[in-house]
Structure 1
């Protein structure tokens, strides 16, 4: 039964043939069904291209930002920012080099804690707003200093320890070339610190908050000290170029971070232990 009986009655007065009556009845029924379908779509259909669950690769050795338990400042900020858009975050905790590779291949939607610089902009999609800013320094053994005022005065041929696949600023490759530095690459902050302690390297480049966390945990914060700055990084969540929704996700993260800063939650999440 079609609901528009009154309207049909008027049409019957104007059209006396059975064919005209049939056509008019069918027209009203089609209009009724179309109107109902459009209303249902507007109520129930999700926003176009809006993912609800995303998978991110999170590094396992960068406390207090991201640790092996899937906890830290970066986790809190990213989850809270995406929550503003009703997007749930599923994090896979892996070594940083593997996290980068997974994002590049499209195995995950993005990767935690990437410095935005020339080398990474070629590989990933970035939003406008960093998660936070982090400063990195050259660290030396207190009893075996570098005898340099800044990084450009480091003695030529010095042995410098870094973490595999980490970014150390656009100037770092030129610094290595100019000062003829010998680079030793390891997987964790603890390995860097141990190499310093046993004299296998002359200095290590570490992000300051990460260094403080690990030196204190290892009980050697009086033996290994900062010498001078290396660089300051804007740290981002980088999105896979293999994901067609990467730009959408970057915008959602920007909006979420802006909302957190506006309502005061950002600073609380950044400073929480």
Structure 2
């Protein structure tokens, strides 16, 4: 029997305009009535995750690709930082090739480089300018060096419009043994500590709630969900998900824009 739904956000349940449809909102509320825990499982930080949900839906969540398991109010239950010397090496490399770099701490996103450069890259990758400016759903602090950050660093993110430059960055990161590298968009790279991804944190969450992996239903659509689909038996992918995710999925559903989550859970749980 399913007791928990671990659900990716962007492209799975949250639409391109950063909203949750009424149909999906109602489906989540119906799950509550069935005593099934809904767990957002995303690469976003807490503030950015909250920007997509109405105030009536507030839950603990797996954030920053598994680097943080946060309580409903955003405070840390578990978190796993990247080693500071590793962060410094990676950021120095990105600075050398003039890439603006987003640095995620527990409560803040810092930008080394110009936020405007980051936004410009998003527009070049096909986002509207207005949406690109609101990409993070929260305030970002521009800084000049990593030394200005005193908190634990949980995730690093870069946006790259140029495929050749992205491939060069991936080659560099493949030599960094103490990090996990993933992607949630065709043009981004996301970095967490070694062994830290959504599936690793979900194992700790399952233990926290006292449930088995067979009692978890996973929804996801992109490569930062790959380990979830590799390690959990009950998985659902929208039909427009990355091909690798579809191949691993047990079930498929309609796209996010067509309320695939709502349709699937209503049918699966007979709601």
Could you state the TM-score of these two structures normalised by the residue count of structure 1?
0.30
Which has more radius of gyration? 1
The structure showing larger relative contact order (alpha-carbon pairs under 8 Å, at least 6 residues apart) is 1
